[in-house]
Amino acid sequence: MNYQYFLDKLLDDIKNKDYRPKLLLHACCAPCSSYVLEYLNEFFDITIYYYNPNIYPSTEYQRRVNELKNFIKIFNSKNNINFIEENYNPEDYYNNINGTENLGERSIRCYNCYEFRMEKAAKFAEKNNYEYFTTTLSISPYKNSNWINEIGKTLEEKYNIKYLYSDFKKKNGYKRSLELSKQYNLYRQDYCGCIYSKKERENKINI
């Protein structure tokens, strides 16, 4: 499916109707959020939802969340962007991916990780009367946007909350995120977040 087509059509409808729906945006880091916020902030009232217990170690988690908070403060946005940070409990992540620890990146382990973080966002969005929810995850060229949107569709039906279909790497979104990272001097991590992606990165460097 051409998820960008669906997003473009929706944004045109919103613009023509001259209203701003409430969007809960699950975010993983400042660099990935940069382009998505630039792209969507004129169409939605956005709340960033930070739920990433997969990130290892805790110092890395804190660095990423602080970087995102700082970026929101200095980002040249025409509209206010809210921020919600959920509790950081790595055991939630390990319990969720139990049995898939030895699988590599882009495996079912990653699928499970996308799913349980997005489900947390969907539940929050439904409970707090947001009209849409989505995630910044699809901006990464290393993540499977088909998986992400399939999960979003399932959660949309399960919680009766609209999912914003997207593939944010389209329209040079990933390239733009690199430009914004440079412009705002953002910390760009060199691994996805979990201990397993960190080890894989370290192993590649040591080869």
Residue 195: its pLDDT value, please?
A: 96
User: Percentage of the chain with pLDDT > 70?
Assistant: 100
Q: What is 3-206's CATH superfamily?
A: HUPs (3.40.50.620)
| Bridge partners, 23 (sequence order) | 46, 132
What is the distance between the alpha carbons of residues 109 and 189, in angstroms, rounded to a whole number? Answer: 20
pLDDT(205) > 90 = no
Residue 71: its pLDDT value, please?
A: 97
Integer CA distances (angstroms), 164 to 13, 49, 96, 153, 167, in order:
13, 15, 24, 9, 10
Q: What is the pLDDT of residues 78-119, one digit of tens each?
A: 789 999 999 999 999 999 999 999 998 889 999 999 999 999
Q: Are 176 and 35 in contact (CB under 8 A)?
A: yes
pLDDT confidence band for 207 (50 / 70 / 90): low
Burial of 40 from C-beta contacts in 10 A (0-12 / 13-18 / 19+): buried
Residue 1: its pLDDT value, please?
A: 83
